[in-house]
Amino acid sequence: MIPVRLITIPFSHYCEKARWALDAAGVDYREEPHPPLAHLPATRAVGGRSVPVLVHGEHVFRDSTDIVRHADDLAPPDRHLFPAEAEARTRVLAIEDELDETLGVDARLISYWHHLADAERARAFVGRMMGVRSRIAQRLVAPLFRALIFRRYEVSGAAARRAEARVRSTFARLRDAIETEGYLVAGRFTLADLTLASLATPLLAPPEHPIMGQLQLSPPPELAALRADLSATPAGRHILRVYRDHRRLRSAPREGVGKRLLIDGQQRLTTLMIRRG
């Protein structure tokens, strides 16, 4: 069988979208986890930059949308994430496309702002998410990491407030479809629900998320308040339900899968730093 490799930053929500689609389609793949920045040699080696990247034999898919379409092509008939009818399929694709450009960007920006704006929180975040163990190293790495992230994603307090307003209006707009049909499109679970749920994970952190569930990173108080607030909305309740009811893993849930991925990731970061240093 041709091996399938998924290159990730394990807690990235676009990676969770791709991972979930592969799990839902029953594709047998191997995840290659990297801490942020340490992913670059792996993605550049296959002509990409961001994660997720899927390598299937000689084919390389460098965007989560291409990965989920490929996963769906490989899925058996009873596991498709796209509806068969053309009109419903078009609606699913439109929602996916829109959420990639709005919710995906907004959720990441809000989460990074709350986790990194304060120096002590940034240190804890770098310790937990990047596996930097010593406090001295955390104090050195955290400001650098924050500067890189804030520049790359244009993070600021004002941008976080704008993003939060946009998330609230996105959630409000989806309310009708959820309340009348039970799902976003065609009254059944599709890629539209999967995209909404996975891209909201930096904000809602559903316990069934294979990585976040095990990370136990306590949210800063403002993010905790936003999480509680959004979780109580119809879209928020839908996201948490979709995770409970549809987030099946490739095999039975394996104890420690998230931790294992992060530990692998930490080892890669250490190796990279030693090599560069």
Ligand X SMILES: N[C@@H](CCC(=O)N[C@@H](CS)C(=O)NCC(=O)O)C(=O)O
Residue ranges that bind ligand X, judged by CB under 6 A: 9, 12, 14, 49-52, 63-65, 100, 108
CA distance 146 to 41: 20
- Cβ at position 101, least distance to ligand X in Å: 8
Distances 144 to 22, 57, 273 between C-alpha atoms, Å:
34, 37, 14
Tell me the residue type at 142.
A
Judged by beta carbon, residue 65 or residue 266, the one nearer ligand X is: 65
Q: Which residue, 142 or 186, is less far from ligand X as judged by CB?
A: 142
Residue nearest to ligand X (CB): 50
Q: Which is nearer to ligand X, 49 or 161 (CB)?
A: 49
| DSSP assignment of 235-254 | HHHHHHHHHHHH---SSSPP
Read off the tokens for 121. Answer: 């929180």
How near is the Cβ of 18 to ligand X at its closest, in Å? 7
Q: CB count, 10 Å around CB of 168?
A: 16
Instruction: State which residue, 33 or 52, has the beta carbon closest to ligand X.
Output: 52
Q: How far is the CB of 252 from ligand X (least distance, A)?
A: 28
Q: 23 vs 186, which CB is nearer to ligand X?
A: 23
CA dist list (Å): 28 to 25, 109, 161:
9, 32, 40
User: How crowded is residue 231: how many other Cβ atoms within 10 Å of its Cβ?
Assistant: 17
Q: Which of 105, 110, 107 is nearest to 200 (CA)?
A: 107
* CB 219 to ligand X: min, Å: 18
How far is residue 30's CA from residue 220's CA, in Å, rounded to a whole number?
Answer: 33
Least distance in angstroms from the C-beta of 249 to ligand X: 21
Residue 43 Cβ vs ligand X, minimum distance, rounded to whole Å: 7
Q: How far apart are CA 38 and CA 56, in angstroms?
A: 22
Q: Which is nearer to ligand X, 51 or 178 (CB)?
A: 51
Q: How many Å separate Cα 7 from the centre of its chain?
A: 13
Task: Annotate 55-89 with DSSP letters as a single string.
Answer: EETTEEE-SHHHHHHHHHHHS-GGG-SS-SSHHHH
Of 67 and 178, the one with the shorter C-beta distance to ligand X is 67
Select 186 or 202, whichever has its Cβ closest to ligand X. Answer: 202
List residues bridging with 32 in a β-sheet: 7
Least distance CB 66 / ligand X (angstroms): 8
Give the nearest distance from C-beta 112 to ligand X in angstroms.
10
